[in-house]
Copies of this chain bind each other. A is one copy, B any other.
């Protein structure tokens, strides 16, 4: 009798993995962790969760064997336990893409909505910055940023986007700009950010036009 229900016990264990992946926030955390080792604080910020809540989700991920953690000084860093977890995640993503009509719809809708393709006009941006709703991203080289930028904007030079993801808040919409209305850097940044799942748009025109309109700017040094 000791082995009775062996099969049930086994499937209950398999279900722990499913359970770990049964929550959108946990999946989002998992995806960020998949990009490289991350601290709890970073993860909380990027997922738009409280630190305590994030910590609890991370512990579930750890208990299900999907991630491991390591303490260094004050911080605890989480990482994917193994490549097979990445494979599992992408299998899940693939099944969702192919079999859930909602996903197809959602993606189509997002990529084609007027709202996401059109640049944000200056006046609209000003309001949203005031309300703390958006992150303004300057994608020009650092020298140009230092010489003057849209007030409140952060600078991530071209090509360094992937290394500075932790400076971006997933909950916020990101508005990117560079030198002018046809500057390719902003287009590229938006495309890249969207691929990574961020909610990104381009600002109408660029820094010179902003400055010329007398809108708030800032210089370093």
Binding site for B on A (CB under 8 A): 1-28, 31, 64-66, 81-82, 84-85, 87-88, 91-96, 98-100, 102-103, 106-107, 109-110, 113, 115-116, 170, 173, 197-199
A87 to B95, CA, bound (A): 9
Pair B110/A13 contact, Cβ less than 8 Å? no
CB-based nearest B residue for A25: B11
Shortest beta-carbon distance from A20 to chain B in Å: 7
- Given A7-B199, A199-B6, the answer on whether A95 and B28 have CB atoms closer than 8 Å is no
Shortest beta-carbon distance from A109 to chain B in Å: 8
A85 to B170, CA, bound (A): 30
Shortest beta-carbon distance from A104 to chain B in Å: 10
Shortest beta-carbon distance from A119 to chain B in Å: 14
Pair B116/A98 contact, Cβ less than 8 Å? no
Pair B99/A82 contact, Cβ less than 8 Å? yes
Closest 8 CB pairs of A and B: A65-B99, A18-B21, A18-B22, A11-B24, A12-B24, A19-B22, A22-B22, A88-B91
Pair B100/A16 contact, Cβ less than 8 Å? yes
A198 to B11, CA, bound (A): 12
Shortest beta-carbon distance from A28 to chain B in Å: 5
Q: Which residues of B contact A66 (CB under 8 A)?
A: 95, 99
Q: Which residues of B contact A6 (CB under 8 A)?
A: 106, 110, 197, 199
Shortest beta-carbon distance from A171 to chain B in Å: 8
Give me 5 A-to-B residue pairs in the complex whose CB atoms sit less than 8 angstroms apart, sorted by A's number: A10-B197, A14-B103, A15-B26, A18-B18, A18-B23
A103 to B198, CA, bound (A): 37
Q: Which residues of B contact A103 (CB under 8 A)?
A: 10, 13-14
A18 to B16, CA, bound (A): 10
Pair B84/A88 contact, Cβ less than 8 Å? no
Q: Which residues of B contact A2 (CB under 8 A)?
A: 113, 115-116
Q: Which residues of B contact A82 (CB under 8 A)?
A: 95, 98-99
Pair A106/B22 contact, Cβ less than 8 Å? no
Q: Which residues of B contact A7 (CB under 8 A)?
A: 28, 170, 197-199
CB-based nearest B residue for A6: B110
